[in-house]
Amino acid sequence: MAVETKTYLETLEKSLYDLVTETSTNLPKDVRRAIKAAKEAENAGTRAAMSLDTITNNIVMAEDNVSPICQDTGLPTFKVYTPVGVNQLEIKAAIKKAIVATTADAKLRPNAVDSLTGKNSGDNLGDGLPVIKFEQWENDYITIKLILKGGGCENKNIQYSLPCELEGLGRAGRDLDGIRKCILHSVWQAQGQGCSAGFIGVGIGGDRSSGYDLAKEQLFRAVDDVNSNEDLAKLEDYIVKTSNTFGVGTMGFGGEATLLGCKIGVMHRIPASFYVSVAYNCWAYRRMAIDINPETGEIINWHYQDGEKITFRDEEQTASSDGKVVELTAPITEEQIRELKVGDVVKITGRMYTGRDAIHHHLMSHDAPVDLNGQIIYHCGPVMAKDEAGNWTVKAAGPTTSIREEPYQGDIMKKFGIRAVIGKGGMGPKTLAALKEHGGVYLNAIGGAAQYYADCIKGVDGVDLMEFGIPEAMWHLNVQDFTAVVTMDSHGNSLHADVEKSSLDKLALHAERVF
């Protein structure tokens, strides 16, 4: 009996390892079809079309390399359904072992950080992590669902308490039309910071915590399913179609695709509270589910595998014609920066340095470990691995959301002479003013394109401040033809501010009652 139990647990751990790896590296069929439709609907020769080319290329590379689609592999969240009598403690232990193993194999980035000390555990385990929620059912098999939802899209989650006043839409009351307004506003406020075009799950009712749980649960629904509630089915369809008239577009560059899917759930509430909770998910919609034999631990079925699988191989690529292409090598002069304009495409060869939240906070009160004059800071927390010789290699390296660095960025650029910042989603007025005063530029890379950008990194020349953990350390990267778009220049222009304003005007067109 002991031998049989050991075999079951080993098989279960292997099944969970495969689930985590597949979720991180291979987008499901339904998500691929949605991205394919967005690409076909986009206007050729635009920044949005170029972004979608990069996204689809990245999907292929992640599958081929069996490496993370996006470097931010998020906070692993499992929903486990078990028959009565199944040992849930064994499943929980097996999940933790699979998380440790996939982190060690660079399928996950170490993301578990102590909230009080800031120390990274290094293996994605910690107090309350990973998140595992169990539910018993009458079926005779185990189903385990997993979603990897990165911080960029998680930070664009939003919750509304009705009635409320909404920018562009006015009053939202406690009815279906008020719900409609909240959901439209949730899509608009995400802009490009959540790596649009995205997907949303919506929870109507409950309390603050159960409403968010319901919203995230909707993200496990298939993109092409139809809500069993007729009113909600109509609302889901309306939200997608209407959101795609806002002009936010892929990465917030403008364009035809802003939202790829909307799924809405509803639960009862108490009379005093009426919440509409929205869980926003980026285009890198990494969720998967498996059915497991409770006797053997083997996978007996993979979910989200119905229909045609879009490979994105051998597709024609669309070059951007929105602006000129400029080649840069650091150190960069102020004169070179002043020549750049919003819309220009930049290709960087040479050195750049990563810097996220911990680095920016550190540099406000400390000297830099390297000379940053004329250099480039990349808002990136890469997935790293060591080869057999002990050298660091980059497994995934897309941009993180830049707006978190808004309190620091302008001051740090002026303090150290930094000329360019690369990230995603844009930054705010303080940074824009500093770019104009100092002679700096903000470059928007394609969010989620972690394999595409890892391929541009030809070597790791060093690392500083490893005490902050792998994602937050300052990595010295040697890059070639690293492509990004100028979205904030040294002349006071911001594509992000322009798109936000124009999309607000379009949002306001939907203030009148519909439902």
* pLDDT for position 485: 96
Per-residue pLDDT of 183-228, as tens digits, reads 999 999 999 999 999 999 999 999 999 999 999 999 999 999 999 9
Identify the pLDDT of residue 451. 97
Which residue type does 245 have? T
Q: Is the pLDDT of residue 366 over 50?
A: yes
Average pLDDT score over residue span 63-75: 97
For tokens 């909707």, name the residue.
218
- At 1, is the pLDDT very low, low, confident or very high (cuts 50, 70, 90)? very low
* 296 class by beta-carbon count within 10 Å (0-12 exposed, 13-18 middle, 19+ buried): middle
Among 3-7, 131-135, 249-253, name the one with the lowest average pLDDT.
3-7
Identify the residue whose tokens are 């499901």: 28
Band (pLDDT 50/70/90 cuts) for residue 316 is: low
pLDDT band at 318 (very low <50, low <70, confident <90, very high): low
Q: What is the pLDDT of residue 323?
A: 64
Instruction: Quick: pLDDT tens for 461-501.
Output: 999 999 999 999 999 999 999 999 999 999 999 999 999 99
Contacts of 173 (CB under 8 A, 6+ apart): 162, 163
> Sign (positive/negative) of CA torsion 148, 241, 505, 161?
negative
The reported pLDDT for the residue numbered 317 is 65
**pLDDT of res. 515:** 87
pLDDT computed for residue 320 by the predictor: 54
| Separation between Cα atoms, residue 212 and residue 109, nearest integer Å | 25
Query: Distances in Å between the alpha carbon of 100 and those of 76, 91, 154, 469?
Result: 12, 14, 23, 16
**pLDDT tier at 388 (50, 70, 90 boundaries)?**
confident
Tell me: pLDDT of 48 over 50.
yes
Confidence check: pLDDT of 50 > 50: yes
Residues 6+ apart with CB under 8 A from 317: 53, 57
SS3 for 135-189 is EEECCCCEEEEEEECCHHHHCCCEEEECCEEECCCEEECCCHHHHHHHHHHHHHH
Backbone angles phi, psi at 427, to 5 degrees: -130, 180
The token duo for 89 is 């403690």
Q: Which domains does the chain have, with CATH numbers?
A: 1-70+75-148+291-316 (no CATH), 150-283 (no CATH), 325-497 (3.20.130.10)
Q: Is the pLDDT of residue 322 over 90?
A: no
What pLDDT is attached to residue 389? 87
| Nearest Cα residue to 483 out of 439, 446, 442 | 446
Residue type, position 258, single letter: T
Mean pLDDT of 308-334: 82
CA gap 329, 317 in Å, rounded? 26
Q: Helix, strand, or coil here: 223? A: coil
Once rounded to an integer, what is the mean pLDDT over residues 31-39? 96
Residue 2: is its pLDDT beyond 70?
no
| Cα 370 to Cα 473: distance, rounded to the nearest angstrom | 13
At residue 174's C-alpha, the angle toward residues 169 and 180, to 5°, is 45
Angle at 280 between CA 489 and CA 72, to 5 degrees: 70
High-pLDDT (> 70) share of the chain, %: 97
